[in-house]
Amino acid sequence: MDWIKMNYSRFLNVTSLGRKPSPIRVLTEIVLNSPKTLISMAGGMPNPDFFPIQDISLTLKDGSKLNIDTSLVTRAMQYSSSSGFPELINWVKDLQERVHKPPTLGITDENKKLDIIITNGSQDGICKTLEACVSAGDNVLIEVPTYAGTLAILNPLQPKILEIESDKDGIIPGSLLRYLSKWKPEDSKKPNCSIPRILYCVPNGGNPTGSQLTWERKKEIYKLCQDYDILIMEDDPYFYLQFSKPYVPSFLSMDEDGRVMRFDSFSKIISSGMRIGCLSGPRALVNKIIQHQQVSAVHSSGLSQVVLFSVLQEMGHDGFLQHCDKVADFYKRQRDACLAMANKHLSGLAEWFEPSGGMFLWLKFPQIKDTFKLISEKARAKEVLFVPGNAFMVDSSLPCQYLRSSFSLVSSEDMDKAFERLSALIKEELNQ
Ligand code: PMP
């Protein structure tokens, strides 16, 4: 299992290769990990005696009270480790082990061994990873349509985006192969070859499509990525919002090479405002993200981390997974209500497939040339709002027949009204 030698430096750009550990942060780590008998006059930690917060207690929605351990509160108020609170990292690591059984967990290869960093939401991890790996002119493989937040990171980095087609089952492997067959697998060994080095995808509850990448396709895609030595960015914030069980196994779960950077998020399950996500990947690459964190945010908010950790510890892994099931059940009911209303008002006007997870329905209007003007100007006048599909396209200036509808917040009655208004708008446009 440990036999493939990965050359991680080929995934990193000049900026990232040039990063070195911050000397101040290294000292902080030494202080944090030393016995109390160490006298340190080295660090720049402020004296916490003047920090006013002493205790934190929480009331959960089930009415239960949670007092956060005083020693955790004290640590939350002070600078801490750039990779995150060790207790939170361990909790997440145990969850990853239970849910994904990553082959790289606990292996001896120091470069590919699985490591975790707590990020400011998964967005932060995705941003730092793309900024570490992509240079202007690079060929980057992206599932389309795709998450607008990722396109917004990528565009200023000026790569050449190779658009991999997808359908309700996620990325189409044949589309990936069509691109890759322009090269030979051995080209990946040539230092200045234009062969793509990164594949980005959202495998569950696709944003915007609600698609779900199947296990069969994942295996084909992973094999292609092995052949062409490609790093897989698995952006999976809707993993726990899959509408049927068992969960489709992740890329991380099959990652015997250490070529997967997996982005998890607590935003959809516990809180989006806490801004906590986590990145799991090979140590050689995660270390580069930690070095970036050392000089950017320094670390994710200590307060958010201890509040999250205390809630997760109280739930335990079983409780967390049960909570996820409840949330997924809710979104599944919302999805069903949304489909019922789409059937009621949009039949004959729009096409769609049933989302397998997440919170989005992706609607195509074959008789409408471009939804942008319709939505951005006329829909607002009718007091209804959707996202025009071009927001999720690599070239957003091209006409687009799609729009994204979210079913996370709206009641069935409001979905009824919203689609009725949308239907009237489309009919007006078509002069029906
Ligand atoms: N990836 C995708 C596909 C998303 O939909 C989102 C949330 N909109 C994110 C990443 C970022 O989530 P987080 O709140 O964890 O930063």
If you write DSSP's letter for every residue of 401-427 in order, what string do you get?
-EEEEE-SS--HHHHHHHHHHHHHHHH
Per residue in 283-302, pLDDT (tens digit) is: 999 999 999 999 999 999 99
pLDDT band at 150 (very low <50, low <70, confident <90, very high): very high
Of the candidate CATH numbers 3.30.930.10, 3.40.50.410, 3.30.110.40, 3.40.640.10, the domain formed by 8-35+73-316 belongs to: 3.40.640.10
Does the pLDDT of residue 129 top 90, yes or no?
yes
Best residue among 117, 119, 122 to mutate for probing ligand 1, ranked by most atoms within 8 Å of CB: 122
Per residue in 385-418, pLDDT (tens digit) is: 999 999 999 999 999 999 999 999 999 999 999 9
pLDDT at 206: 93
Query: What span, in angstroms and rounded, lies between the C-alpha atoms of 21 and 277?
Result: 22
Per residue in 340-399, pLDDT (tens digit) is: 999 999 999 999 999 999 999 999 999 999 999 899 889 988 999 999 999 999 999 999
Fold of the 324-430 domain: Aspartate Aminotransferase, domain 1 (3.90.1150)
How many angstroms does the Cα of residue 122 sit away from the middle of ligand 1?
Answer: 6
Handedness of CA 96, 99, 104, 106 (dihedral sign): positive
Please tell me what DSSP assigns to residue 5: P
How many angstroms does the Cα of residue 198 sit away from the middle of ligand 1?
Answer: 19
Q: What are the structural domain ranges in the chain?
A: 8-35+73-316, 324-430
Best residue among 143, 212, 235 to mutate for probing ligand 1, ranked by most atoms within 8 Å of CB: 235
List, chain by chain if needed, residues with CB within 6 Å of any ligand 1 atom. 121-123, 147, 149, 202, 207, 235, 237, 265, 267, 272, 277
Average pLDDT, the chain: 95
> For the chain, what percent of residues have pLDDT higher than 90?
89
Q: Which 3 state secondary structure label does DSSP give 160?
A: strand
Per residue in 53-81, pLDDT (tens digit) is: 999 999 999 999 999 989 999 999 999 99
